[in-house]
Amino acid sequence: MTTTLTIRGLHTTIGTSQILHGLDLDVAAGRTTVVLGRNGVGKTTLMRSILGYLDHTGELTFRGASLAGLPTHQRVRRGIAYVPENRDVFAGLTVAENLRLAERRGAEPRYELVFDLFPELKQRLAQTAGSLSGGQQQMVSLARGLLVESHLLIVDEPTKGLAPRVVKEVVAVLRAVREQSTLLMVEQNLMAAGELADDVVILSEGRIAKTGDRRILANREELRRYLSVARSAEHGVD
């Protein structure tokens, strides 16, 4: 199995708090790796470290080349796409402008693919992103991440704060996306994680507590030890 991203000894400190403590992780090519863990264990910090938003030490190797010293925009140009935790759409810009920002020189924008996945966006191109619902904003955020072909799509909590119906739509889209791209996801919703994960990584206190394939998700007792699982989120695990 080839590895898209290899992380060795990742340490990240924010202010005076060390968040990640020498973390090792392999993200397998063509598979979906879901990162789970309680709030505050460092899941988003891990994603932001990979993207170079946060200063860190340790080795990050992406498709055989080191990411050391590269700023965020250069890491993205190497083929890492990012869909952030809070969607981070540009609220004052239209949907079309949000998508246009994701275009890149030398890469063909995949508008057809994006509008196949999110037909609603095509009807709302002239609408400002700030006036969209949370689910629609998530579509814009995912569409930006998919507009240009990437080798690794990092998606941070794509279902956070969405209505159950919209969660199902987002999961359906991600199921289609995982056929085409390597996915690294943070997901607190176990139903969504169960539907999408090939591999599972559980973080605890800034360290890898457990890794394995999706069968980890079936072991409720073990999951409870690591996660604060809300009863409602447990539905759909089996």
Partner 1 sequence: MDTFFLILATGLSVGALYYLLASGLSLIFGLMDVLSFAHGALLTFSAYSAIMTMNWFGAASTGALLAAIVVSTLVGGAVAFLVEWLFLRPMYARGHLSQLLVTMGIGLVLIAAVTIGFGPDPRSMPLPDNVSGSIDVFGVLIPVSALVTVAAALLLHAGLMAFLRRTRHGLIVRAGVENADMVRGLGIDVAKSFAMVFTIGGLAAGLAGALALVYVRAGTPHLGDTYLIYAFIVIVIGGIGSLPGTLIAAALVGLSQQFANHYLTGGAGDLLVLALLALMLLARPQGLFGKTGRIV
Give the whole-angstrom CA distance, residue 95 versus residue 159: 20
Question: Least distance (Å) from partner 1 to the CB of residue 93?
Answer: 6
> What SS3 class is residue 10?
strand
Question: Least distance (Å) from partner 1 to the CB of residue 72?
Answer: 4
Other C-beta atoms lying within 10 Å of the C-beta of residue 18: 13
61: its two tokens = 């190797």
Residue length of the chain: 238
Question: Least distance (Å) from partner 1 to the CB of residue 160?
Answer: 16
Residue 155 or 191 with smaller CB distance to partner 1:
155
Residue 70 or 229 with smaller CB distance to partner 1:
70
187: its two tokens = 């997901």
Contact criterion met (CB below 8 Å) for 3 and 27: yes
What kind and span of H or E run contains 65?
A: strand 65-66
Question: Least distance (Å) from partner 1 to the CB of residue 132?
Answer: 13
Residue 77 or 207 with smaller CB distance to partner 1:
77
The residues that touch partner 1, with contacts defined as CB under 8 A, are 51, 53, 71-73, 76-77, 82, 84, 88, 90-93, 97, 100-102, 104, 130, 144, 148
Which residue do the tokens 């941070």 mark?
156
Number of DSSP helices (H) and strands (E) in the chain, helices first: 10, 10
Residue 49 or 202 with smaller CB distance to partner 1:
49
Question: Least distance (Å) from partner 1 to the CB of residue 25?
Answer: 20
Contact criterion met (CB below 8 Å) for 32 and 178: yes
Other C-beta atoms lying within 10 Å of the C-beta of residue 151: 15
Which residue do the tokens 């507009």 mark?
147
Question: Least distance (Å) from partner 1 to the CB of residue 188?
Answer: 21
Residue 9 or 134 with smaller CB distance to partner 1:
134
Residue 75 or 178 with smaller CB distance to partner 1:
75
41: its two tokens = 């264990």
